[in-house]
Amino acid sequence: MILAAGFLVLFFGSGSRFAFGLVLKPMSDELGWSRSTLTLGITAFMLVSAVSLPVVGRLVDRHSLRVIMGVGAVVGALGLLLMGQVREPWQLFVVYGIVYAVGNAGISNPAVGVMISRWFDRRRGIAVSAAVSGGAIGQLVIIGLLAAFLATLGWRTAFTALGIISMAVLAPVVFFAVRSHPDNLPSPDSEQHGLEAGEKDTDYSAGIVADLSLQPGTILRSRQLVLLLFIYAICGFQDFFVATHVVAFAQDQGLGTVLAGNLLAWMGLMGLVGVLLSGVLADSFGAKNPTLLSFLLRVVIFAFILFFQDTVAVAVFALLYGFTFLVTAPLTVVFAGVIFGQSRLGLVAGSISMVHQVSGGLGALAGALIFDQWGSYDRGFMVLLVMSLVAIPVTLMVRERALLQRVA
């Protein structure tokens, strides 16, 4: 039940979130706004999400997941409904950049990841990946349907329909199916949340004991968190550069509206494969290895698209990038749980996601500015290639061991 609830939350939450990339060009054509102006709406969304996610993380560490995610589902659905009425840039910033952003933060990967982690002590990577795969399938189904009917319905009707469906389906799922923690575990307020009384989370290979009472300041100053924030900043910049502009890029290269729109949906299908594989690899070999493989593949992908940009090459680029698109999403709580422990999982996952969102907003905006300035995304792809190369040695520096204190 919990796994199904997490799956459905991300199916609608993540699937709807990527609709903006699909309607970027139609909105620009109808409203007469530049891609930079429209992308500022995404940047506002990412920045507000960045502020909201750590708050959500602290709340889910201490309060009811059902209430937090339920409010998020309702507010997010309201934001989608209001998007159908946008006619001025300021309305876009308020509706998408604030209302939808705050709502979506409540039903985002960190909240779902914390919920799943509480229920699955073993095979946590696979369990979180299964839930996150809901986002990939949602992207495939929702974006695929929108791409098929966008020319007929128009982007306003598309957003309105998404809002109505989210309100009618997602909100009841959250209120009836979400549970904060198993009945046999202490509440999130307990200092020993996730452990039996008297137990200690021990790394026997190191001969030292994890500090379950780590203060937030200690965590936020740790070198391992800095490395993870850097990795997820690069990942967010790349993900939202591509997700925001891949449809418009494909149309610029000559692909038809429906086919170009379906590229974003097919990325979801490939993302499903990638996210499930990352969970299996994380449980077997640690979260660092699938992260490293993802960046290695991105080096090849971005080098490829710089040299080959015919219609077939664009499709290959989208599919290959889609495979890496969600690889690091389930790994957030895996990294956080292994290094910092379960008691601060919401705080750490929220902080990582905050940086991911801020960087993602900058990536989406950078793509628009580059295109508006030079009429091409090539310089952007060069930047993404360099970022992938930088991310590889940084990932190798991460140590998947608990942040520990020595026992006297």
Tokens read off for 407: 């026992």
Beta carbons within 10 angstroms of residue 121's beta carbon = 14
Q: What is the pLDDT of residue 82?
A: 94
Judged by DSSP in three states, 77 sits in: helix
Residue 33 one-letter amino acid: W
Q: What is the pLDDT of residue 176?
A: 80
Mean pLDDT by 10 residues, the chain (408 residues): 78 78 82 85 84 78 79 91 92 92 83 75 72 78 80 85 88 78 49 39 34 63 88 93 90 82 82 83 85 95 94 92 84 79 72 85 90 91 96 91 53
Report the Cα 131 to chain-centroid distance in Å: 12
The model's pLDDT over 126-179, given as tens digits with 9 standing for 90+, comes to 777 777 777 778 877 888 888 777 778 888 998 898 899 888 988 888 888 777
Q: What is the pLDDT of residue 277?
A: 86
Those residues with Cβ within 8 angstroms of residue 202's Cβ, 6 or more apart along the chain or in another chain: 209, 210
Nearest in space to 295 (alpha carbons), one of 170, 171, 395, 407? 395
Q: What is the pLDDT of residue 383?
A: 96
Question: Can you give the residue ranges of every domain in the chain?
Answer: 2-182+203-405
DSSP 2-42: HHHHHHHHHHHHHHHHTHHHHHHHHHHHHH---HHHHHHHH
CATH assignment, 2-182+203-405: 1.20.1250.20
pTM equals 0.71
Burial code (b: 16+ CB inside 10 Å, e: under 16) for 110-119 equals bbbbbbbbbb
For residues 316 and 282, give the distance between their C-alpha atoms in angstroms, rounded to a whole number: 26
Q: Give the pairing of strands 404-405 and 202-203.
A: unpaired
Q: How many CA atoms lie within 13 A of 146 on its CB side?
A: 33
For residues 203 and 200, give the distance between their C-alpha atoms in angstroms, rounded to a whole number: 9
**C-alpha torsion angle, residues 188, 191, 195, 196 (rounded to 10):** -110
